Copies of this chain bind each other. A is one copy, B any other.
């Protein structure tokens, strides 16, 4: 069992991790399911593009010993918003559609990363496609649609 990182300001949205493997990354500390399923981490890479990551732990596995499809899709749903964050321009949004092709199993100890691109932004609907890798090997090709919502 891994130690879970210390987060600060858990009531807020994106929180910077201050210790451990993920120090310097951001996490959605106020998102109960995402913290429980992951936690997942995100930051800008050297090219300025958002990427997401976490390390596969025993708690993420299914009964057959590899990562549960639901865990991978939860990470994809999280990465969807990370990839779209510039296109969202501070709007909130909801997932309208999410689909994934499972390309390879993910095992305990592997570094799981997600990268992608906005294929259409600009309006109220943001289209994203991305790829999740495990130690660099493609594991889930995914695409999703986010609908911006007004905050009022």
For window 52-66 of A, CB contacts with B under 8 Å fall at 58-64
Residues of the B chain whose Cβ atoms lie less than 8 Å from the Cβ of A64: 92
Q: Of B68, B98, B101, which one neighbours A31 at CB under 8 angstroms?
A: B68
Quick check: A119 and B101 within 8 Å, CB to CB? yes
Contact A33 to B67, CB < 8 A, known contacts A103-B127, A104-B120, A120-B103: yes
Chain B: minimal CB distance from A59 (Å): 5
Quick check: B31 and A62 within 8 Å, CB to CB? yes
Residues of the B chain whose Cβ atoms lie less than 8 Å from the Cβ of A131: 119
Quick check: B98 and A97 within 8 Å, CB to CB? no
| Mask of A77-117 contacts with B, CB within 8 angstroms, 1/0 | 11000000000000010111111111111000000000000
Quick check: B96 and A125 within 8 Å, CB to CB? yes
Q: Determine whether A152 belongs to the interface, using a CB cutoff of 8 Å to chain B.
A: no
Quick check: A37 and B37 within 8 Å, CB to CB? yes
Point out residues on A near B: beta carbons under 8 Å.
Answer: 13, 28, 30-34, 36-37, 58-64, 67-71, 73-78, 92, 94-105, 119-120, 125, 127, 129, 131, 138, 141, 143, 145, 147
